[in-house]
Amino acid sequence: FPDIGLQRNIWENYIILYNGWKMELRKNSYQSLTQINPWLEQITVNNLKNGWLEDRFIGLKGTVKKFNYNIRFAQNLYRHMPVLVNNFDTATILQQFNVLYDRRVNILNFHTELGFRANSNLQFNLAFDFNNYEEDRLARIYHQPRFNSRFNTKYTIADKVLLSLDIIYLDGVYALLPNGTDLQLKGTLDASIAATYIFSKRFSFFVNLNNLASMKYQRYY
């Protein structure tokens, strides 16, 4: 489908203006939806709808000495956006989810990336997104965070040992309760570290430690 983009250097590599427009078909299946939410109940083909996602964006990016940045504003039009809500069935022990579709969702997205490369072995990156959802028929877009951010740093030792630290924050999402009211879940901060030892071109070892703060949170209600 159409994918059009323009880019122009305003000031060498310090300021680069870019914009674009693209449209794509989002094919929904039971498998693709359970990758988003594994607690989705079994659904029939009649309850599956494909979606259309239209992305219009404009932004600035560039590199200044050891710093790089990317600031992007986008308008996303999502037709038949799948929204997963709780299925409160007292006959079942485990909670399951249904899928609803909003006819036309307007998503305004503000995205920022900041990077700093201290040297060839050490780099820092920070990124965050803010999304504003304008629903059509549904009261709210449930279980979708409005704000999320990620901090990452990588350090290389003698081209053999790769160390990384990731800190991810998600604000509290909204869930639909049985009485029709909304509940905002608590946000979460997730920190993890990873180490990789490159023994040879074909063999390496790695270890990951996730959720170092041992925080308990609900991604879905």
Which one, of 201, 184, 92, lies nearest residue 146 by Cα?
184
pLDDT at residue 94, as a whole number: 60
Amino acid at 112: T
Amino acid at 214: S
Question: What single DSSP character describes residue 120?
Answer: S
Report the run of H or E that residue 76 belongs to, with start and end.
Answer: strand 67-87
C-alpha–C-alpha distance, residues 212 and 80, integer Å:
38
pLDDT in tens, the chain (221 residues): 889 999 999 998 999 999 999 999 999 999 999 999 999 888 888 889 999 999 999 999 999 999 999 999 999 999 999 999 988 775 565 678 989 999 999 999 999 999 999 998 999 999 999 999 999 998 899 999 999 999 999 999 988 999 999 999 999 999 988 888 899 999 999 999 999 999 988 999 999 999 998 888 888 88
pLDDT at residue 46, as a whole number: 82
pLDDT at residue 31, as a whole number: 92
Long-range contacts of 195-204 (CB under 8 A, 24+ apart): 195/161, 195/162, 195/163, 195/164, 196/161, 196/162, 197/160, 197/161, 197/162, 198/159, 198/160, 198/161, 198/162
122-134, strands of its sheet edge to edge? 3-11, 15-26, 51-64, 67-87, 96-117, 122-134, 147-157, 161-170, 188-198, 204-209
C-alpha–C-alpha distance, residues 71 and 99, integer Å:
33
Phi, psi values for residue 45, rounded to 5°: -60, -35
Query: To 5 degrees, how large is the angle CA 59–CA 54–CA 78?
Result: 120
C-alpha–C-alpha distance, residues 62 and 16, integer Å:
6
pLDDT at residue 163, as a whole number: 97
Tokens 């988003």 identify what position?
A: 36
